[in-house]
Amino acid sequence: MSSTIKPYPKKRRSAPKVRTGCGTCRLRRVKCDEGKPVCQRCIKFGVECDGYHLILRWKRELVPSQPAMKVPSSSSLAKSPFANNEEHQYFDLFCARTGYDIFPTFDSGYTRQRLLESCHFNPAIRHAIVALGALDKTAELVQSFDKLALTPIERDAAANAHHRNALRQYSKAVKHMAADASAKKVDLRTMLLTCLLILAFESWTGNMDLAVNQVHAGIRLIQEWREKYKNDKDKYTRLSPAPYVVEDDLIQIFCRLAVQHSFFADGHSPELHAVLGNEGPRFTRSMPDTFSDIFEAGTYYNGIIRRGVYLITTHSAYLGPDVRKDSEIWRWAMKEQEEIQADVWRFNKALEPVLQKIGDGPQKHYALFIQLSMAIGYIGLSTHLSVDESIHDEYNPVYKRVVYLAKAVMKEMPTANKTRTSNFCFDTRVIVPLWVVGLKCREPSIRREAINFLLANPRREGIWDSVFAGKVLQWVMEVEEEFIEDGRVPGWARVAGVKWSGAELGGKRAELVCLQRVSADDATMARRTKTITW
């Protein structure tokens, strides 16, 4: 059987609803007041109003659906940037499915739109997108055995052909990226988009170290750019100092990747730490009493999470056990903790009316995700200044809710293809929250439920691999439960954290290290190690 991508069945669709409003509000899916020359909503949020021009033709391709993937004619190929039918079909697959699976469903779609637009004039981005489409087709053939009319030999041959095409296209993309970089002819937006595409390909294929490098590279570019605005405090404290150069959406993506990284590794570069500190209290003070919709809630959710993680990473960087409790940095941390906790309560109150009227679909998924992230974030925020690991026992009911919400998020995961659930997204979904549960919750049933869910649902989210996370947590649990008493891990035996060697993550092998007290009467720290594979 041929390995050519087959067209999807055609689906009848109703006529599209004409939406009014400025381009910015349409992309953000919010109600526009249609003020001229710019709308008041854009002015309120400090973003550039895109005006009232016609919707770009690309927008039509960004609507999730099951479109018929037509084989282009030779005449249309002659006018397109694609070398052959196969490239065009992989690109169509990315437009119809891959782009929605790997990019956050709750973003405005502006980043996907920019990527697709760039395919017409940027060979690096075009080949990278084609490579991701080919990789998606490989994943489909490998994972959906029961839904394919192929023998094992035919299936492997087809999957191998798509995988070779993915690697071939990715190699072309990297060569073009290197040439563009040496010629210094790419703008900041394009460099950030290529970082995302490399991250997506490397993470999806399991090269986690290279994916982490792209997070650092993108954040470093953002911070170097932001430094140009340091004398303009109004612009410098915004998410994007110049949205007409790089949109808020794109900066937001790298901010969320920085949050991911803060849980993935102990060491934080100054650039990564600084990008989390964007906006600060000035932004949360503008939070309304009631959100107009889930997307407005998402804007403030992202700001609160960044502010909380900034505080936690500041703790690891500057607030060691030797810091005096009456020092200036400690007083700042206490004040910041109280303010963010108050912001979380305000946020939950403003979100409640939205939750009561939200329906099924992507918005329900986004709402569940926000509740999940806020719950685990609140625990981390409330416990980070304590050196006693027993404090986490107070939050067992919240940890139980986190596991429930994580399962609900997975159940409601939107996809453009109902026959195949996606197992990759470069953004956070459930791995990081379940990681925190498995590491910090010592109630055996809740802890095991979180770890087992990670292991039973193999997936990758950004720089995280669920099976790797589950294996690490299994070992930490075993180390602590060597000393379990009456179903409870004593405080002295609890492990504050675990480290691993990053050199061989791509080879699915890691050396784990943690420190644990020798006994209740001896404060000496013993070094525990183990090598795991997954």
Of 67, 55, 62, which Cα lies nearest the Cα of 22?
55
Q: What is the pLDDT of residue 308?
A: 85
Which ranges of 246-327 does DSSP label H, i.e. alpha helix? 248-264, 270-276, 281-284, 294-318
**Where are the CATH 4.10.240.10 domain residues in the chain?**
18-55
Q: Please list, in sequence order, all residues whose beta carbon lies within 8 angstroms of the beta carbon of residue 119, skipping any fewer than 6 positions away.
A: 81, 91, 125, 126, 129
Q: Is 125 exposed, middle or buried (0-12, 13-18, 19+ CB in 10 A)?
A: buried
User: What distances in angstroms separate CA 266 from CA 283, 381, 501, one per listed residue?
Assistant: 27, 17, 12
Residue-wise DSSP of 199-265:
HHHHHHTT-HHHHHHHHHHHHHHHHHHHGGGTT-HHHHTSSSS-TTTS-HHHHHHHHHHHHHHHHH-
Q: What is the pLDDT of residue 15?
A: 41
Retrieve residue 126's tokens. Answer: 């075009």
Retrieve residue 365's tokens. Answer: 């998924």
This prediction has a pTM of: 0.74
| Bridge pairing between strands 509-517 and 499-500 | antiparallel
Q: What is the pLDDT of residue 79?
A: 60
Tokens 């039973």 identify what position? 456
Separation CA 126–CA 91 (nearest Å): 8
Separation CA 82–CA 74 (nearest Å): 11
Enumerate helices (H) and strands (E) in the chain, giving the number of each. 21, 6
Which ranges of 415-465 does DSSP label H, i.e. alpha helix? 431-440, 444-456
Q: What is the pLDDT of residue 329?
A: 77
Positions in the chain short of pLDDT 50: 1-19, 27-28, 53-77, 144-149, 317
Sign of CA dihedral 31, 36, 37, 42: negative
According to DSSP, the residues that pair with 512 across neighbouring strands are 500, 530
Separation CA 149–CA 93 (nearest Å): 20
DSSP state of 73: P
Q: What is the pLDDT of residue 184?
A: 78
CA 20 centroid distance within chain = 30
Of 59, 230, 222, 221, which Cα lies nearest the Cα of 50?
59
Angle at 215 between CA 143 and CA 439, to 5 degrees: 70
User: What distances in angstroms separate CA 329 from CA 314, 321, 325, 439, one per listed residue?
Assistant: 10, 13, 9, 27
According to DSSP, the residues that pair with 424 across neighbouring strands are 460
Retrieve residue 237's tokens. Answer: 């404290």
User: What distances in angstroms separate CA 218 from CA 212, 224, 225, 509, one per listed residue?
Assistant: 10, 10, 11, 26
Separation CA 263–CA 260 (nearest Å): 6
CATH class of 18-55: few secondary structures
Separation CA 58–CA 62 (nearest Å): 7
Of 206, 226, 223, which Cα lies nearest the Cα of 464?
206
